[in-house]
């Protein structure tokens, strides 16, 4: 994980072979390309305490969904690249 104190809980692969997770303690989503080792972080808008994550492979680009344990909400991350 690129940022300390991430503490990822779940990791989900997408149809492109990239891995998606989110930190329980730092409120960042991470997309990792295991072929290159390149990690992209997405800062979430507020404290979430992420546990379970889900990747929607039916969208283009793939969409990452996570529930916010601290905010009683669902967060959608849609990469622009």
pLDDT, one tens digit per residue, over 33-47 is: 999 999 999 998 888
Rounded CA gap, 3 and 20, in Å?
Answer: 15
Report whether 61 contacts 78 (CB < 8 A). yes
**57 CB contacts (<8 Å, ≥6 apart)?**
14, 15
Cα–Cα distances (Å) from 16 to 20, 57, 79, in that order, read: 11, 9, 13
The helix or strand, by DSSP H or E, that contains position 8, with its residue range, turns out to be: strand 8-13
On the question of pLDDT at 48 being above 90, the answer is no
pTM: 0.89
How far the first Cα of the chain sits from its last, in Å, is: 20
On the question of pLDDT at 67 being above 90, the answer is no
pLDDT of residue 42: 94
């Amino acid at each position: 994980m690129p940022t300390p104190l991430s503490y990822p809980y779940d990791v989900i692969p997408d149809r492109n072979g990239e891995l998606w997770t989110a930190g329980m303690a730092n409120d960042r989503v991470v997309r990792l390309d295991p072929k290159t080792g390149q990690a992209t972080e997405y800062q979430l808008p507020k404290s979430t305490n992420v546990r379970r994550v889900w990747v929607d492979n039916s969208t283009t680009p793939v969409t990452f969904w996570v529930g916010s344990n601290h905010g009683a909400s669902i967060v959608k991350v849609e990469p622009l690249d």
